[in-house]
Amino acid sequence: MASTGPAADEARAAFRSRVDAPGHAVENARVALDGLEGAFADGALVETPVLGAMIADLRSALAEDDDGKVGGKSAEAARFILRAISRELDAA
């Protein structure tokens, strides 16, 4: 069952705004993920099992190697996963 109310609507809108913000996709993904985790912690949204799996995939895509760099496909993967999360948020 999807979360309802103003806090849930605001959390979804904030996530989508962060995803669509100008800037690099990897940095936008990190900011969006931080905000989404805050929404889960505050109880504005409920983390579904599907969202949990998507978030784990996103974390993997954003993982840095020993030199502090993300992989070459990280931006592409982040954009793809963020779009999927955005669609799934309607069920969160």
Q: Is 58 in contact with 82 (CB distance < 8 Å)?
A: yes
Q: Which two tokens stand for residue 84?
A: 């999927």
Using one digit for the tens of pLDDT, what is the confidence trace for 10-19?
999 999 999 9
Alpha helices in 1-92 (DSSP H): 6-20, 25-42, 49-62, 74-88
pLDDT at 68 over 70: no
pTM to 2 decimal places? 0.85
Tens digits of per-residue pLDDT, 20-33?
A: 999 888 899 999 99
Q: How confident is the model at residue 43 (pLDDT cuts 50, 70, 90)?
A: very high
Cβ proximity of 15 and 90 under 8 Å:
no
90: DSSP letter: G
Task: Answer positive or negative: Cα dihedral of 20, 22, 24, 29.
Answer: negative
Asked whether the predicted pLDDT for residue 42 surpasses 90, the reply is yes
Supply the pLDDT for residue 75. Answer: 83
